[in-house]
A and B are shown apart, each in its own frame.
Chain A
């Protein structure tokens, strides 16, 4: 259960210039739900994802996930919360280009200091699931866009998080790859994960497994 209560987010670019990204937004997302945040770029939908992931703090209001006020976590514990609960698929994937696929997917596990056996097991599982195992030792910067996205999804899932966040997942994909991404989403939904997608791609608005579509316009939920 994700709850946003009266969230306002203001970015202060400098003293004179401020941007109101979200204005008194309230939203609640039940467990296992697939929610699509619809809106033009700059409408504030990315800010919502970032708040749910505790990557930024609201100017006012509260974000509560499973009863826990995550908008007040300290830097360290925000990271722990992300590590254990959130799988974030960024728009630009945010992979480390000079590392191999394997090393990129393993990144979230590095600080956990797991036994090699456990780590390799988890790695094999997600690489299999997202069809990237055959590229395990390839360097990420040499991969195609679709492959990079699969690496990003695999990395987001390696800790088996309850919540998956995806920011404009199809912005850099052609139609065929977009459709295969939707297949992946279906699979994740079947694992009972809560999925929040921020997008302006109409492809997502009429899918049968999407539970609700919320439109955001200039920082306000319609």
Chain B
């Protein structure tokens, strides 16, 4: 009986919110904006984290790059055999790949050269090689990612593309197909062609490769293999998957940190704005509370009613804000906002944010908005609840 929800009080609170149209609308809009922004940012970061993690997972365990004067140089293909001799190494491949800057669209494509008769270091690549043909040297073919396809189409390259070779002449490569990768971040800007065509475009000799990737059968032996390789190639840089993961995380955390700083400021502003708005009592509101007290509402009843008002308006705004954020991020792919987090979006063709739902994000946003709003209403509510009824209804 005592703990029953007071329907009449809820009804009254809703009425009171509606009566203060402009004030309530203002508060709701500010609140929705805040929860919307917060939730969007958390959704985007969750999605990107997921994408990054899957991309990194798909990377080879160890990559060996030859460096000279701190710059990465092409490595000899023959080194593969030396590496294969190291105990613990299960396989090694010489990769040819690079970036091609497409000036008209202002984007970078990453081009991977493959050889049909070699093993591929990645499942996704093996699938492509199985399915497609790369043609002959004089009429080459290529397979392109979705994003590449989009940017080429925009520039009227629908069936083929002219690469500018290092000697300035053009090389025409026909588009044989478009593929979907495991993750969008990975495949979106990728072009796959034969090693021969690649070497021709970038003028890379047959004996050279971009880098060598190493597979290790037992992942706990990676550290040992790395130290052995370090002995063989003291002047090369040897990159492990773990270290890439860490550096990705660092870039990412840096951006989140930047955001968090902004975000504390916006929460503080939120608190002040709400406090200001709620404490600015019109004489009509004061009179109303005076009436209620005069007809037998206790201070506690008025406080409870104010709490109901705050709870209703904040829960409503929270739900709307979260709902909007969901639509914004996953339906509309978060225009503008995600560019802040996907720093290289200008350079890389765009990709889609995968749907990653984490219930904790909802709790997090809840605790960052609703209690702060209610806190901001405590003192104004108390002020109005303890008004002298006799003075305000005169």
Q: Which residues of A contact B (CB under 8 A)?
A: 50, 53, 55-56, 75-76, 79-80, 82-84, 86, 88, 90, 92, 94-96, 98-99, 103, 106-111, 113-114, 116, 119, 155-156, 159
Contact = CB atoms under 8 A, between A and B. Distances in A.
18 contacts: A55-B294, A55-B389, A56-B388, A56-B390, A83-B295, A86-B296, A92-B393, A94-B291, A98-B15, A98-B19, A107-B292, A109-B8, A110-B8, A110-B305, A113-B4, A113-B6, A155-B295, A156-B295
A95 B295 CA distance: 10
B7 interface: yes
A80 B292 CA distance: 12
Given A55-B294, A88-B295, A110 B393 contact: no
Most chain A CB neighbours (cut-off 10 Å) among B4, B293, B294:
B294
Nearest to A88: B294
A94 B290 CA distance: 9
A79 B301 CA distance: 10
B9 A110 contact: yes
Interface of B: 4, 6-9, 11-12, 15, 19, 287-288, 290-301, 304-305, 386, 388-390, 393
Given A96-B288, A106-B8, A159 B296 contact: yes
A76 B295 CA distance: 12
A92 B287 CA distance: 12
Contacts of A79: 293, 296-299, 301
Contacts of B297: 79, 83, 108, 110-111
A80 B294 contact: no
Contacts of B390: 50, 55-56
Contacts of A75: 298-299, 386
A108 B295 contact: yes
Given A79-B296, A94-B291, A111 B15 contact: no
A90 B292 CA distance: 13
A111 B393 contact: no
Nearest to A76: B298
The 10 closest A-B pairs by CB, nearest first: A83-B296, A111-B301, A79-B298, A55-B390, A113-B6, A76-B298, A56-B390, A82-B296, A110-B8, A94-B291
Contacts of B294: 53, 55, 82, 88, 90, 94
B106 to A, nearest CB: 58
Given A82-B294, A96-B291, 20 more contacts: A55-B390, A56-B390, A79-B299, A83-B297, A84-B296, A90-B294, A90-B393, A92-B393, A95-B291, A103-B11, A103-B15, A110-B8, A110-B12, A110-B301, A111-B9, A111-B296, A111-B297, A111-B298, A113-B4, A116-B7
